[in-house]
Amino acid sequence: MEKLELLSRIEKLASVLHSEDLAKYNLAHESIVEMRRVLDQLSENYIIKYC
At 18-51, the pLDDT tens digits run 998 888 888 899 999 999 999 999 999 999 999 9
Residue 35: name the closest of 5, 9, 7 by CA. Answer: 9
The pLDDT confidence band at residue 2, using thresholds 50, 70 and 90, is very high
pLDDT at 3: 94
pTM of the predicted model, to two decimals?
0.86
Q: Which domain holds residue 30?
A: 3-18+25-50
Number of domains within the chain: 1
What separation in angstroms does the CA of 8 have from each of 2, 5, 23, 47? Answer: 10, 5, 23, 14
pLDDT at 20: 86
* pLDDT of residue 13 exceeding 90: yes
* pLDDT of residue 1 exceeding 80: no
Contact assessment for residue 39 and residue 12, using Cβ atoms and an 8 Å cutoff: no
